Amino acid sequence: MKLNSPLQVYKYLPQINCAECGDPTCMAFAAHLIDRSKKLEDCPPLLKDEFKKKYMELLSLLAPEIRQIIIGVGERAKKIGGDDVQYRHQLTFFNPTAFAYDVWDTMPESELVERVKRISNFKKFYVGKFLKVDMVAVRCISGDSLRFAGAVKKVSETTELPLILCSYDPSVLKAGIEVVKDKNPLVYAATEQNWGEVAELAMNYKVPVVLFSSNLDKLKSLALTFMEMGIKDLVLDPGTFPQGKQLKESFERFIKLRRAGIKEGQKDIALPIMAVPLNAWLVYKDTVTASYWETVLASVFIVKYGDIMILHSLEPYAVLPEVHLRDTIYTDPRTPVKVTPGVNEVGTPAKDSPVIITTNFALTYYTVESDLSSNKINCYLAAVDTDGIGVEASVAGGQLTSAKIKDTFQKANFDFKEKTTHNTLILPGLAARLQGDVEDATGLRVLIGPPDSGRIPGWMEKNWPPKQK
């Protein structure tokens, strides 16, 4: 039985409230185990011999419904799978879909290296963090095991990203694995025809393997066979067909697999699922059209239920929608995304620079900060603690108040007389109703800015510096 509440977990804990885990009570620690913000190993008493039985029971009872596997080694290793729910509002999705972009062994070496670097170095700043891609998939096009091994070696020398080795030929796969056997690559793929030889590779080299079949009965049979051989780090590829009726059937197979793993408790197929949006390039030859449909496929299977996918297009118009959608789907919907409250500098503010108020909802804060910095407006930007709620909602709900605004500056030790010559605050237009309260609480002059931070530059031209009273 899967444990899904802190009270259920608490029954297995030492219940001594020693606080060695960093939480004041065992019940609080149990809640952190449920949301995976802490591990069993964070409880020292639980690791003692007297609690060993409970530790082993908890280890099993807290294991995710979908098996979690790790690809690669070191800091760039990627976890996939590990989910407990079909719908993220029930809990959350934990391990974001892993994006692997392809290279192939017939590429000239200079082009290969350049493409690998482009994959490795991709990053997009968004809401306080960098969105990145995760892996390189090395495809064998030549059919030559030596050439494939050479390509794998060059890729491995160029990047620390985890690798997927792609071929249906076991001899080719073996040559590639030999080069990176200490880097835990994912092997693609075992099929009805080659499964015996690929299984032998998986056992000998202890690497995770993708099983491929568009027939779910045969895919399940492959999974059972591998598990009976002791190979458990498996990924299922039920086929990703890029158009028409076959696309509909692909979508249905993904849903059936995830439902069987979570709702029906079929542990033999409760495994991560791979999608291959790259297959759009088999149908569409025009670069823009193929990239578009690849992104459409990626979007479909980010939502339902691709744990890892192989892609091709590195064009910004393809990659950016993919990484943004993934970030949205894998953000915990129960918890607002917040920044640390405080008073921050944008650019190099001086004493005549404005002091602007916003909330600590990350999307609001970074939108305002971006609008200010991109327009080279040097200022102080105060993020008021509104529990991660935006301006309009926090004014209506009472999270943005004059007391909290005053408290933000006090906690930051921000002295207006020392830092500014104008003793003035700028409230966002959506918080205009707070003007009088803020003036009374702080003793400062309060101006009302525009409702949209994109209009701040125009507002500044007309209203800053403030006119002397």
Mean pLDDT, to the nearest integer, of 167-172? 98
Q: How confident is the model at residue 469 (pLDDT cuts 50, 70, 90)?
A: low
Mean pLDDT, to the nearest integer, of 193-216? 98
CB-hemisphere CA count at 13 Å for 107?
Answer: 20
CB-hemisphere CA count at 13 Å for 278?
Answer: 19
- Per-residue model confidence (pLDDT) at position 63: 87
Is 51 found in the same domain as 78? no
Residue 413 lies in a domain: yes
Q: Which of 195, 197, 239, 200 is nearest to 221 (CA)?
A: 195
CATH number at residue 15: 1.10.15.40
Is 42 found in the same domain as 10? yes
Q: How far, rounded to the nearest angstrom, does the alpha carbon of residue 104 sit from its chain's CA centroid?
A: 27
- Per-residue model confidence (pLDDT) at position 1: 52
Q: Which residues contact 248 (CB under 8 A, 6 or more apart)?
A: none
Is 255 found in the same domain as 222? yes
The amino acid occupying position 6 is P
Token duo for residue 171: 């001899």
Q: Is residue 113 within 8 Å of 136, Cβ to Cβ?
A: no
Residue 42 lies in a domain: yes
SS3 at position 332 = coil
Residue 346 DSSP one-character state: E
Crossing angle of helices 244-262 and 216-228, in 10° steps, is: 40
- Per-residue model confidence (pLDDT) at position 333: 79
pLDDT in tens, 336-393: 889 999 999 999 999 999 999 999 999 999 999 999 999 999 999 999 999 999 999 9
Is 300 found in the same domain as 161? yes
Residue 1 lies in a domain: no
DSSP output for 192-259: TTTHHHHHHHHHHHT--EEEE-SSHHHHHHHHHHHHHTT---EEEE-----SHHHHHHHHHHHHHHHH
Q: Please, what is the Cα angle at 175 between 174 and 178, to 5 degrees?
A: 80
Is 177 found in the same domain as 225? yes
The backbone torsions φ and ψ at residue 283, rounded to the nearest 5 degrees and listed phi first, read -105, -45
Q: Which of 61, 88, 107 is the last residue of a domain?
A: 61
Is 400 found in the same domain as 366? yes
- Per-residue model confidence (pLDDT) at position 245: 95
Crossing angle of helices 216-228 and 195-205, in 10° steps, is: 40
Is 256 found in the same domain as 210? yes
Q: Is residue 388 within 8 Å of 362, Cβ to Cβ?
A: yes
Q: Which of 212, 288, 218, 279 is nearest to 244 (CA)?
A: 279
Q: Which of 297, 329, 361 is the last residue of a domain?
A: 329
Residue 240 lies in a domain: yes
Q: Is residue 371 within 8 Å of 456, Cβ to Cβ?
A: yes
pLDDT in tens, 34-57: 888 899 999 999 999 988 898 998
CATH number at residue 422: 3.40.50.11600
Is 73 found in the same domain as 57? no
- The pTM score is 0.85
Q: Find the domain containing 172 and state its range.
A: 69-329
Q: How far, rounded to the nearest angstrom, does the alpha carbon of residue 398 sit from its chain's CA centroid?
A: 31
Q: Please, what is the Cα angle at 419 between 415 and 421, to 5 degrees?
A: 115
Mean pLDDT, to the nearest integer, of 394-403? 96
Token duo for residue 11: 């029954």
SS3 at position 99 = strand
Distance of CA 351 to CAs 98, 112, 206, 411, 424, Å? 47, 52, 62, 20, 11
Is 79 found in the same domain as 57? no
Mean pLDDT, to the nearest integer, of 218-228? 97
The percent of residues above 90 in pLDDT, for the chain, comes to 87
pLDDT in tens, 406-451: 999 999 999 999 999 999 999 999 999 999 999 999 999 999 999 9
Q: Is residue 70 within 8 Å of 78, Cβ to Cβ?
A: yes
Token duo for residue 212: 């491929």
> Beta-carbon neighbour count of residue 178 at 10 Å?
13
Alpha helices in 16-124 (DSSP H): 26-34, 52-61, 109-121
Task: Give the bridge partners for 311, in sequence order.
Answer: 101
Calpha distance 290→103 (Å, rounded): 17
Is 391 found in the same domain as 255? no
Residue 337 lies in a domain: no
pLDDT at 153 over 60: yes
Q: Look at the block and give the residue holding tokens 């393997």.
A: 209
Q: Is residue 136 within 8 Å of 100, Cβ to Cβ?
A: yes
CATH number at residue 157: 3.20.20.20
Q: Which of 120, 129, 131, 207 is nearest to 161 (CA)?
A: 120
The backbone torsions φ and ψ at residue 425, rounded to the nearest 5 degrees and listed phi first, read -115, 150
Residue 306 lies in a domain: yes
Residue 224 lies in a domain: yes
Residue 104 lies in a domain: yes
Q: Please, what is the Cα angle at 291 between 287 and 295, to 5 degrees?
A: 175
- Per-residue model confidence (pLDDT) at position 293: 97
Q: Is residue 6 within 8 Å of 27, Cβ to Cβ?
A: yes
Is 78 found in the same domain as 205? yes
Sort strands 234-237 and 308-311 into parallel, antiparallel or unpaired.
unpaired
Is 351 found in the same domain as 319? no
- Total structural domains within the chain: 3
Q: Which of 308, 329, 350 is the last residue of a domain?
A: 329
Q: Is 357 exposed, middle or buried (0-12, 13-18, 19+ CB in 10 A)?
A: buried
Q: Is residue 280 within 8 Å of 271, Cβ to Cβ?
A: no
Helix and strand numbers, DSSP H then E, in the chain:
17, 17
